[in-house]
Every structure is written in structure tokens, then in C-alpha cells.
Amino acid sequence: MDSFLTAFFSGTSQGAIYALVSLGLVLVWRGAGVVNFAQMGQAMFTTYIASQLIQNDYSYWSAFVIALVSGAILGAIVDLGLMRPLTSRKNSQLLNSQSMRTTIPVIASLGILGVLKAVAGILWAGEERGFPSPIAANALTIGDTTLAITGFDLFVIGVVFVTLVLTTIFFTRTGMGLAMRASALNPEVTRLSGIRVGSVRTLSWAISGTASSLAGLLVTPKTNLSPNTLDLLLIVGFTAAVVGGLNSLAGSVLGGFIVGYVIAFVNVYSAPENVFLAILVFLLLALFIRPQGILGSKEVRRV
Amino acid sequence: MSKVKTHKVIGARSTRLAIIFFIFILLLSMQFDPYNQYQLANISTLLIAVLSITLLTGASGQISLGQGAIMAVGGYSSALLVTKLGLSMWIAFVLAIFVSALFGLFLGLAAARLSGPYLAGTTLVMALAIPSVAIRFESLFGGDIGFTVDYGYPPNWLTNLIGEISIEEWSLYVALPFAALSLFAVLNLSNTRSGRTWRAVRDNEVAAALAGINIARTKVIAFVCASALAGLAGAIYGFRGLVGPSVYSTDLSLLLLTAAVIGGLRSIGGAIFGTFVIVFLPDVIERITKALALPETISNYLPALLIGFLLLLTVIFNPRGSAGALEHIRHARHSHKH
């Protein structure tokens, strides 16, 4: 029972972080038709910014906010500086090819990832460093019994919960959120009804940048920070997004928690070195059984 | 009649080009010191892997971020065949081609259902799972470290023929014939019916299907061919000294893709150029950083930074790679004359 609770709580708090990563991936996929493999590179970079600020005696919370804002800016820069000029090259023979239209942005995002890692390595020497958490990671106790959950875990779950509520309100209650959903569904019609599809697209990159930046801030107290630490998080987030449905926002969150539990239970009941094997098997199973994801809708091929 | 004729001409052309490549590298190696001869051996080996990407992504339009994983299949299988069964290295290399082609068949069956980003992500997960697999089956795969294998010694008839052979030269002599053969195979393949079918599927699946092409089968065949090449590259790459998770890292997979993109995804000459760039650029940069006495943090990350920038610039300004740029210049000159 004890190990079950350990797995359950760690699955919940880790799953919350995976949900953020997966949400970031799905936002950009829906908004721009790109799976952004540089996403956690961006998060790594903003987390380094926060770490640098904290070293320079800024408070944790001001560093936290600045990291989130720079996550949004970085996301917007990637879209405006790279992805938009890339996809607007209409006369390119290479981009006229159906399969290349999705492949080239993937390659571009890998280029960004490489550049961000190298720049972070040059600026911050590339050694592993710790990252502080605002709340001590001690196990909570009620009376004499020690719970299998730490204060920091609760903090993570709380922050992600608030983020998800805000995101839901944004997408269902605000005009901008509705415009984003509309242009994900049908960009042509959305453009005709007077919405600036380009700005909406950049906004989805910015929000995705913030979400992944938040994920970086929440995960590094446990994993330490180096140019490469967040790579694995991207893969887990990708698996979560595929499991939940690459074109469903709710699905991406659901997928995050599911993958969180899978990893936590493999970790507790099997061995940590099996985690990656489990992810691979899980991803392949998901792709074979339900390629569109749990909450995803079937892709319609445009002829 | 005319069809048969073109085939013959193309066959002659690819034979000629492969031989020219072989002789060119051989002549180049004679000008080089041992270290650079070793780098030429690396180029020959990695070229085979880059060609597999040219085939898979350039010709058939499927993207793999995990060619390193398929290289690992070739590397582990050939190394096991030599160390456990005592087979000769050459037979092991050939068998590694078949093993990885088989692996590619299974992978391709899964991949044919996936498009673009799904395939990219799945192959990346596969590449990252290698250490996991190696540790899970430690008794067979040697865990985190892997195991050591090498090219052995050059046979007597060869030393009798051309005299003393250094280790570096021997590694080049092992890799180069395979590189030339792979080059020959890929050059031919892209001009056969299969090659044309792949391009049709790549450019427009619906149109290809309407023309009577079986899309899924075409994709699987492309995957099998590319995996066979990658597996061969992995086998030769492992026999430089070590077969282990660190040799077939994700970084290697991404570096190979970079080489293919920089050179031009659709060009075989581009693949050769790209491979030269990824192998020699770090050396050139190291020489420059040493001359400028740059601090270590910069010189450590400068190659990665430049290669990343090169990739981005290629994708934005010249998605067809250096081969595309060359063709563009040639076209411009041509139209100028007329």
C-alpha cells in the first residue's frame, strides 16, 4: 500500500509537469502545424535565466515571473524569426512536396534546439547546477504518519491546477481564446471572418513557450539544470500528447497524467532503468491502438 | 527498347561515380597524416548512414530522428556475431545488413501508419531507449558501457602487396569499399522504378495512390533499404573500438540528419559534402579557437553552435542545401549564356 501511494503521489506531481509540456506541444501543433522539438530547449534557456537572476540576489518569485515572460518572448521570436519565413516560402520546390511541409519545420526546430543548447553551454559553462524550490521538499506528516508526498509536490500540483483553470477560462471565455480555437479548426474561414490568423499563431507559440518555461521551473529542483536535462521531458511530453491526442488540449493534459502514472508505477514496481523502455512500448501501443489519441479526432485528409 | 538503354547508361554512370569517389578518398588519404586518415575512415563510415537519410527523407519523404538506433542494431548484431559466435568481421558486416533490414521492416510497418511529426517523435524515443535496452539485457549487450571490438589486423596478402599498414589506414581500407558500394547502390536506386515510386509518394500521396502505387508498401520498402544502409554503417562504426549506448547516441542521430540537410536532402553529392562538413568542421574550429586562445567554455560549444546555425540558415534560406545552391548557380549561368 505504501509503495502504491508513493507511486500515486509522484505520478500526480510528475504527471502535472508532463501535462504542461504536452499542453505546450499541442498548442503549437494546433496553432501552427508544427511539433516543436525545441520546446524544452527554450524552457532550459529560460530556467537558466531564472537561475542567473537568483544568483544575482533577485527573489525566487521575481525570477519566476521573468522566466515565464521570457518563455513567451522566446516562443514568439521562434515563430516570427524562423517558422513564419520558413512556411511563407511558397515558390520553394522542396516545400511544395507534401511530406516535406511537415518535415522541414521539424528539422528547423532541431536546429533551434542545437543553437539554444550551445549558447546556454557557452553562457553558463554547461555544468550541472541545482535550482531552488520555493518550498522545502520534505515529506509531509500528519500526526505521526509520514505521507508519501512532499510540500513541493503539492506546490507543483497547485501551480499546474491554477494554470490549467486559467487556460480553460482563456480558451472558453475570452475572444482571443476562441479565435485561437477557431483558427486551429479552420484557418481559412477564420481569416475571412476578420481575425488576424498570423497574430493568433504567434500567440500560440508564446503561450506554449510560457507553459514549457513553467514546466522547466517546476521540474529542475528535482533534476538539476544542465543544457541537456530537459531533453527527456520533451520525449515524455510528446508521448503524453500522442496518447491524449495531438489536436486536443484536454487530451494533452489527460495524456500527461496518464504517462505520469505509467512512469511512476514502473519506477516503483519495476526499476528506473526500465522507464524508457516502458515509454517506447507505451507510445507504440498508443499509436497502434488509437493513433488519433484518446480525445483526438480523426485527421481529415485534404485532397 | 529506349527504357533498357537508359538503365544501362545510368548503371555506367553510377559505377563511374562510385569508383571516382573511391579513388579520390584514397588519393586524399595519401596526402594526410594518420589522424586525418582516421577522419577519412569516419567520413566513409558516416557517409553510409547519411546516405540512408538521403534515401529515407530525401527520396521517400519519411523523417527519422533515430538512425543512430538502427546503427546500434547493426553494431550490436555484428559485434555479437564476432565475439559470441566467432564469425569473421566481413561476414558479420554482411549479416548485420540483413538483421537491420529485418528490424527496418518491423519499424517500417509501424512507420507507414505515421506521418511527419509522429514518425519523428517515435524514432527519437527509440533512439533514447537504446541505453535502457542495453541495461535491461545487460548479460547480452554489456549494459551501459557495451563491449569492445576492433577491425583486427590487415591480412598478410595485403601487407605483402602494399607494405606496412597503420591502424588508421586499415580502418579506412575497411570502411571505404563499403562506402563506395553504398554510393553505387543509392545512385542506382534513385533512378530505378522504386526510386521514382518513392518520390511520387513523397510529393503527393493521393496522386500516387491514384496512379496505382501501394503507399504503405512503398514506405515500408524505403524503410527497409534505409535501415540496411544504416545498420551497415553502425556495424563498421562500432568496430572502430566500442559498441555501446554512448557510441550510438541521440546526438549522432541528429548530427547525421544535419549532414544530410546541410548538403541537400535530395542530393547524393550533398550527402558527401555534408559528411565532410560534420567530420572536419569541429577540427577546423578547434584550430581557430586555439589560435585565438578562446576560453574552454566557448571552444567546447562552438562546433555545436556553428553546426546548429548552419542547419538553421540552410533550412531558412536554402532548404535544398548546398547541392541546391550549386544547381541554382549553374542554372543562372546557363540562362545568362543564352
Q: What would the grid cell of residue B104 be?
A: 527496418
> Average pLDDT of chain A?
85
Distance from CA of A265 to the nearest CA of B (A): 17
Bigger pLDDT: B330 vs A234: A234
Residue B209 pLDDT > 90, yes or no?
no
- pLDDT by residue (tens digit) across A240-261? 999 988 888 888 999 999 999 9
Nearest to A238 by CA among A219, A252, A227: A252
The per-residue pLDDT for A64 is 93
CB-CB contact of A256 with A16 (8 Å) = yes
**CB-based contact B49:B231 (threshold 8 Å):** no
CB contact under 8 A, B120 and A103: yes
Q: Are A93 and B320 within 8 A, CB to CB? A: yes
Of B294 and A115, more confident: A115
Interface of B with A in 112-171 (CB under 8 A): 113-118, 120-122, 124-126, 128-129, 131-133, 135-136
Interface test with A, best of B57, B109, B118, B125 (most A CBs within 10 A): B125
The domain ranges of chain B are 2-249
In chain A, the residue whose alpha carbon lies closest to the alpha carbon of B250 is A231
Highest-confidence segment of A264-278, B14-28, B68-82, B134-148 = B68-82
User: How large is the angle between the packed helices B215-238 and B89-111, nearest 10 degrees?
Assistant: 150
DSSP assignment, residue A93?
A: T
Which grid coordinates belong to B224?
527497409
* Mean pLDDT, rounded, for A136-164: 80
8 Å CB contact between B165 and B153: no
Judge residue A112's burial from the number of C-beta atoms within 10 Å of its C-beta, 0-12 exposed, 13-18 middle, 19 or more buried.
buried
d(CA A213, CA A168): 19
Q: What is the pLDDT of residue A51?
A: 92
- Per DSSP, helices labelled H in chain A are 2-32, 39-55, 60-78, 84-87, 98-124, 151-173, 175-185, 187-192, 197-223, 231-244, 249-269, 275-289
Q: What is the mean pLDDT of residues B177-206?
A: 85
Residue B23 has pLDDT above 50, yes or no: yes
Model pLDDT, residue A93: 57
* Residue B147, strand partner residues: B243
| C-beta neighbour count of A56 within 10 angstroms | 8
Distance, in Å, from the CA atom of A172 to the CA atom of A192, rounded to the nearest integer, reads 21
CB–CB contact B202 A98 (8 Å): yes
State percent of chain B over pLDDT 90: 23
Distance in angstroms (rounded) separating the CA atoms of residues B45 and B39? 10
Which three cell numbers, joined as nine digits, stand for A170? Answer: 482563456
Kindly report, residue by residue over B165-176, the tens digit of the pLDDT. 888 888 888 899
What ranges in B112-263 are assigned the alpha helix state H?
116-136, 138-141, 156-162, 167-189, 193-203, 205-210, 215-238, 250-263
Question: What pLDDT, on a 0 to 100 scale, did the predictor assign at position A174?
Answer: 87
Grid cell of B246 as nine digits: 554512448
The rounded mean pLDDT for chain B is 84
What average pLDDT does this structure show over B203-219? 83
CA angle A254, A260, A262 (to 5 degrees): 105
Q: What is the C-alpha to C-alpha distance for residues B7 and B14, in angstroms, rounded to an integer?
A: 11
Contact A9, A153 (CB under 8 A): yes
What's the CA gap between B193 and B252, in Å, rounded? 32
pLDDT single digits (tens) B242-278: 898 888 988 898 899 999 998 888 888 889 999 999 9
Q: Are B225 and B117 in contact, with CB atoms under 8 Å apart?
A: no
Within an 8 Å CB–CB cutoff, is residue B309 touching chain A? yes
Interface predicted TM-score (ipTM) of this complex, two decimals? 0.83
**The pLDDT value given to residue A210:** 95
Which site among B301, B320, B328 would you substitute to test the A interface, given the most A Cβ atoms closer than 10 Å to its Cβ?
B301
| C-alpha gyration radius of chain B | 20
Name the pLDDT band for B5 (thresholds 50, 70, 90). very low
Contact B237, B247 (CB under 8 A): yes
Q: How confident is the model at residue B337 (pLDDT cuts 50, 70, 90)?
A: low
Domains, chain A, ordered by start: 2-289 (1.10.3470)
Q: What is the distance between the alpha carbons of residues A73 and A157, in angstroms, rounded to a whole number? A: 25
Q: Does B19 touch chain A (CB under 8 A)?
A: no
Window A:254-283, CB contacts with B under 8 Å: 273-277, 279-280, 283
Distant-in-sequence, close-in-space partners of B2: CB < 8 Å, separation ≥ 6: none
The CA distance from A285 to B113, in Å, is 13
Interface contact flag, A112 B312, Cβ < 8 Å: yes
The answer to whether B285 and B303 have CB atoms below 8 angstroms apart is: yes
pLDDT tens digits for range A45-70: 999 999 999 989 899 999 999 999 99
Q: Which residues of A touch B256 (CB under 8 A)?
A: none
Quick check: A235 and B124 CB within 8 A?
yes
User: pTM of the full predicted structure?
Assistant: 0.86
3-state secondary structure at position A225: strand
How many whole angstroms from its chain centre is CA B197?
Answer: 22
